Amino acid sequence: MFRASSCGAVIDVRRTGEMIGLKMDLMDMRPVDLAGLLGVSVQAVYKWTSGTSLPSLDNLVLLSSVLETPIDDLIVRKTFQPAEQDLYVEEDIDPAFRGILFQELFYFGSPAPRQEPADVFKYAVI
């Protein structure tokens, strides 16, 4: 079964900051302008765009509105790479649960594979 703790943080802070900065550039918006619109400090905006920290959920909603961009386009997810100790060989997996496991593996932000589920399960995340 998939464990969220096995992949650590899900949001790529650095790339999310780059995306916020890119959207600001496209709108010709300076950090001081954005800070004034959101009611936050200029330092907070610099921390977001440099990838030092993430905006709060409230600020993400406001950013989405101000930058005229869906929240999903602002947030960049990390790609999950399972650690070797988190892998089981296919033979260890009960065939009755392969379909459920397949759905869980690819629900977590990964693109759906092109192969059929039976071809994908050489390894599975626990």
Q: Are residues 23 and 70 in the same domain?
A: yes
Are 39 and 89 in a shared domain? no
State how many domains the chain has. Answer: 2
* Domain limits for position 36: 13-74
Is the C-alpha dihedral spanning 27, 29, 35, 39 positive or negative?
negative
CATH of the domain at 31: 1.10.260.40
Q: Both 65 and 117 in a single domain?
A: no
40-53: pLDDT as tens digits: 999 999 999 999 99
Task: Evaluate whether residue 98 is within a structural domain.
Answer: yes
**How many Å apart are CA 66 and CA 87, to the nearest integer?**
43
Are 46 and 65 found together in one domain?
yes
CB contact set of 96 (below 8 Å; sequence gap of 6+): none
pLDDT digits (tens, 9 = 90+) for 104-125: 555 454 455 444 444 444 444 4
Asked if 66 and 111 sit in the same domain, the reply is no
Residue 27 lies in a domain: yes
Does 56 share its domain with 85?
A: no
pLDDT in tens, 3-34: 544 556 688 999 999 999 999 999 999 999 99
Cβ-based neighbours of 76, under 8 Å, separated by 6 or more:
11, 12, 15, 16, 18, 19
